């Protein structure tokens, strides 16, 4: 058993650990340290709870012992099993486990009742008939002593009788309470005859209608600790004044030697958010957040969905430390911890948020070459690369072009050169605009001698990212920012509430983004750095293999403090995802420059189709607007459904994949009908082929009109979805990288994506990625 912190030689112990270390040196707890994390199940846990989780579960790991997970469920009006299950997920996700020590205060109701009877018999508790308002009035103030209730001197017999009748449900809510008899003039107002029980005729989520008499937190808390054998009851500072009452209850029940002791530490308060469960519930219920896991919220489930890792949260808790004085933590520190973790786990890939087409006029039209592109920069000790397809038509980000560049602009401009990341230097020769004068295309030339080399006789200062027009994968990107515009929205200007400081720019939805195709072969939980943009990962709720959605986890650097515009303090709009662009006339699909907000069609037959798609089929309004914009497209979609394909899957493939391939052509010009397209979607939807293989099949269908099942058979594209077939491939990959296997087993678990990628490459992308991820992880952990 340890008697000091593992970091004792390097860093002084905080005051909590000093207390525990001293107790262990004295042999006060020979069976080890016993702590507990005791949330009330009335909301989702947040980043503030994470600090308490790390401390309470961390102490027994350091000094020997155990930590209990106990739900202090004494308020039936606000508690729910949903919150219990969410808290258990969060604690496990942070890397901690309570083993067999899962407890509920509601299981102790009978014992707590018996102890209350014990105090009544000892003349230390009484039934009071005062109302809530009267009790508050009689309590006095910090400067004025309270006065005794006229019911304080009831006899023990009367108190026992009334308390039993309270238990039986003979009185209405609030009609009577049980109070401890301590001292109405005590300088600590918590000791002025505090409430122990109140009447609530409300069903409890675990105990049902067994009880209508519920213990107050202060009465249940310490006694629950004692029942479980807790040694160190660690609370946040708001319970500092409660400690005296905690001790009074235990001492007057006869716990004088081997009993728990309460210690308080400063809670974690984070800038630009709120920690109150009540306020978070308001944001969820009033539609300012999409749910408890909305990635803008400070809940642990939201941070998990956004892409934060458990290691980053634990690192933040360690950096903040354990103190006796409350303070606020800058949001930048949290972001720094997240970046520090992702830097070594997130391979670098290319993604274009706002595509602008580039045509290389001097590059052969029918040529495609591949560049070897490393996943990692030189300062990250990881290995791995992928091959990037390069052809005549590319997309760059619209922000990387300026027709009239400002001074110091080192990206693309007319007559100006720039290097494409991992590729050649190009020069912009001509700017193509549409009828509205908007830039829709750039005609450029490339320097064939600049692949991996500097151009002769001139210096190119800028490097920009790009994707191949023929190979890039459409995706949706969600750019998350801080939820509030003020560091402490709880303390705003007079007359304003915390909601007045909601940030209306806390999320930007980017549809029509393009990402390099290598991501389709990676494990779904692999984070990336989209070069020059930030860190991202697939949204675990909304992203699908054939309709990728990426969340921005964190930007590459803090830009908040450098925003030119003043903070906006008006109320933010309610949570709503931005609509997908409306389809162009004639069954055609628009280019990004032509995209318009979606609308319900005016024509009666198309409007009826729109209503059927959104109502009967449950499609998103944006998808329905695209699919019902033309009668030919409606027929094409219905033919796909008639073939047996799922409506949402067909909508995703039509709007996200087919639209990008046919580039404005009508579906009536395709060499296949909707039924054949539906067969393709079924192949992907049922797992017969992977999504990348589905795109390959679609390309052949567009070229030759072939039956998709025949293409799959001819090209051998069937997905490998059985463990026996994948086992030798996985064994071969693991054997080829023994140093990386050792690194993974030593704790570098972020390398899982590397191994999955190698297996996917070995199978030509045919393996089921989810199955590969599970089998690879099992193989790595067997050692």
Annotated catalytic residue within 40, 240, 244, 594: 40
| C-alpha span between 236 and 242 (Å, rounded) | 11
Catalytic residue list contains 277? yes
- Identify how many contiguous H helices and E strands the chain contains and give both numbers: 24, 27
| C-alpha span between 82 and 668 (Å, rounded) | 50
Catalytic residue list contains 40? yes
| C-alpha span between 71 and 51 (Å, rounded) | 17
φ/ψ (deg, to 5) at 15: -65, -30
Beta strands in 539-594 (DSSP E): 548-554
Query: Which residues fall within 8 angstroms of residue 21, CB to CB, at 6 or more apart?
Result: 3, 4, 5, 13, 63
- Per-residue CA distances from 69 to 37, 277, 513, 546 (Å): 5, 19, 44, 40
| C-alpha span between 325 and 238 (Å, rounded) | 11
Given the structure tokens 């207390």, which residue do they identify?
19
| Packing angle of the helix pair 47-63, 310-320 (nearest 10 deg) | 80
Among the listed residues 499, 511, 501, 490, the one whose alpha carbon sits nearest the alpha carbon of residue 579: 511
Annotated catalytic residue within 152, 167, 267, 715: 267
DSSP class of residue 657 equals I
Task: Give the bridge partners for 180, in sequence order.
Answer: 125
Given the structure tokens 């508050």, which residue do they identify?
136
Query: Which residues fall within 8 angstroms of residue 74, CB to CB, at 6 or more apart?
Result: 40, 105, 106, 214, 215, 216, 217, 220
Q: How many CB atoms lie within 10 A of CB 3?
A: 16
Q: How many CB atoms lie within 10 A of CB 411?
A: 18
Residue 627 is encoded by which pair of tokens? 């699919």
Residue 519 near residue 536, CB atoms below 8 Å: no
Among the listed residues 211, 213, 234, the one whose alpha carbon sits nearest the alpha carbon of residue 222: 234
| C-alpha span between 413 and 404 (Å, rounded) | 7
| C-alpha span between 519 and 523 (Å, rounded) | 8
Catalytic residue list contains 267? yes
Annotated catalytic residue within 154, 277, 304, 345: 277
| C-alpha span between 545 and 767 (Å, rounded) | 13
| C-alpha span between 70 and 242 (Å, rounded) | 19
| C-alpha span between 412 and 392 (Å, rounded) | 17
Given the structure tokens 């709880």, which residue do they identify?
490
Residue 352 is encoded by which pair of tokens? 């274009």
| C-alpha span between 241 and 669 (Å, rounded) | 77
Residue 409 is encoded by which pair of tokens? 């602009």
Residue 458 is encoded by which pair of tokens? 């001139």
**Residues assigned a catalytic role:** 40, 267, 277
């Amino acid at each position: 058993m340890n008697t000091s912190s593992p970091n004792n030689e390097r860093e002084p112990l905080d005051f909590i650990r000093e207390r525990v270390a001293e107790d262990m040196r004295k042999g006060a707890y020979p069976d080890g340290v016993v702590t507990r994390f005791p949330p009330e199940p009335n909301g989702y846990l947040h980043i503030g709870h994470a600090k308490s989780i790390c401390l309470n579960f961390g102490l027994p790991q350091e000094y020997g012992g155990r930590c209990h997970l106990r739900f202090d469920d004494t308020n039936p009006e606000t508690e729910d099993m949903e919150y219990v299950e969410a808290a258990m997920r969060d604690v496990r996700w942070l890397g901690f486990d309570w083993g067999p020590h899962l407890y509920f205060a509601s299981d102790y109701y009978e014992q707590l009742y018996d102890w209350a009877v014990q105090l009544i018999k000892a003349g230390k508790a009484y039934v009071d008939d005062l109302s809530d308002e009267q009790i508050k009035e009689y309590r006095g103030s910090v400067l004025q002593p309270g006065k005794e209730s006229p019911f304080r001197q009831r006899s023990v017999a009367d108190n026992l009788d009334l308390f039993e009748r309270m238990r039986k449900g003979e009185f209405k809510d609030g009609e009577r309470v049980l109070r401890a008899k301590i001292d109405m003039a005590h300088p600590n107002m918590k000791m002025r005859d505090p409430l122990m029980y109140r009447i609530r005729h409300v069903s409890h989520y675990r105990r049902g209608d067994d009880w209508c008499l519920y213990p107050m937190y202060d009465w249940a808390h310490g006694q629950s600790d004692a029942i479980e054998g807790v040694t160190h009851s660690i609370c946040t500072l708001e319970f500092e004044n409660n400690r005296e009452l905690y001790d009074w209850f235990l001492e007057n029940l006869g716990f004088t030697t081997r009993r728990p002791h309460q210690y308080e530490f400063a809670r974690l308060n984070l800038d630009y958010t709120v920690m109150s469960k009540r306020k978070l519930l308001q944001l969820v219920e009033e539609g300012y957040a999409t749910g408890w896991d909305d990635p803008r919220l400070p809940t642990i489930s939201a941070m998990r969905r956004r892409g934060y890792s458990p290691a980053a949260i634990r690192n933040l808790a360690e950096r903040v430390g354990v103190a006796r004085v409350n303070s606020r933590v800058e949001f930048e520190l949290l972001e720094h911890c997240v970046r520090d973790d992702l830097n070594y786990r997130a391979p670098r890939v290319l993604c274009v948020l706002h595509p602008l087409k580039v045509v290389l006029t001097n590059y052969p039209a029918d040529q495609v070459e591949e560049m070897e592109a490393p996943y990692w920069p030189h300062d990250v000790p990881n290995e791995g690369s992928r091959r990037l397809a390069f052809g005549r038509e590319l997309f760059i980000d619209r922000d990387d072009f300026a027709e009239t560049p400002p001074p110091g602009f080192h990206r693309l401009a007319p007559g100006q050169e720039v290097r494409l990341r991992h590729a050649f230097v190009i020069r912009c020769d001509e700017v193509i605009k549409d009828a509205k004068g908007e830039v829709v295309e750039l005609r450029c030339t490339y320097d064939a001698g600049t692949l991996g080399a500097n151009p002769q006789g001139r210096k190119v200062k800028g490097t920009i990212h790009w994707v191949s027009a023929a190979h890039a994968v459409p995706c949706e990107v969600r750019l998350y920012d801080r939820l509030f515009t003020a560091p402490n929205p709880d303390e705003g200007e007079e007359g304003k509430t915390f909601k007045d400081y909601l940030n209306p720019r806390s999320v930007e939805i980017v549809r029509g983004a393009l990402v390099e195709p290598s991501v389709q072969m990676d494990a779904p939980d692999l984070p990336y750095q989209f070069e020059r943009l930030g860190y991202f990962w697939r949204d675990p709720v909304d992203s699908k293999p054939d309709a990728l959605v990426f969340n921005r986890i964190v930007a590459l650097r803090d830009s908040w403090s450098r925003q030119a515009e003043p903070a906006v303090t008006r109320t933010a709009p309610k949570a709503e995802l931005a609509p997908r662009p409306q389809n162009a006339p004639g069954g055609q699909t628009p280019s990004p420059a032509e995209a318009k907000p979606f609308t319900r069609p005016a024509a009666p037959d198309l409007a009826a189709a729109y209503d059927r798609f959104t109502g009967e089929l449950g499609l998103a309004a944006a998808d329905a607007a695209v699919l019902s914009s033309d009668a030919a497209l409606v027929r094409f979609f219905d033919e796909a459904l008639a073939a047996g394909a799922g409506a949402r899957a067909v909508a995703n493939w039509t709007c996200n994949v087919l639209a990008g391939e046919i580039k404005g052509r009508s579906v009536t010009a395709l060499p296949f009908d909707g039924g054949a397209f539906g067969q393709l979607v079924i192949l992907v939807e049922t797992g017969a082929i992977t999504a990348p293989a589905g795109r390959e099949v679609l390309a052949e269908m567009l070229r030759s009109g072939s039956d998709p099942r025949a293409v799959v058979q001819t090209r051998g594209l069937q997905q490998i979805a059985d463990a026996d077939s994948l086992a030798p491939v996985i064994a071969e990959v693991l054997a080829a990288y023994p140093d990386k296997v050792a690194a993974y087993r030593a704790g570098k678990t972020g390398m899982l994506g590397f191994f999955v990628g190698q297996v996917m490459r070995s199978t030509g992308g045919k393996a089921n990625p989810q199955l590969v991820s599970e089998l690879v992880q099992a193989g790595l952990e067997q050692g």
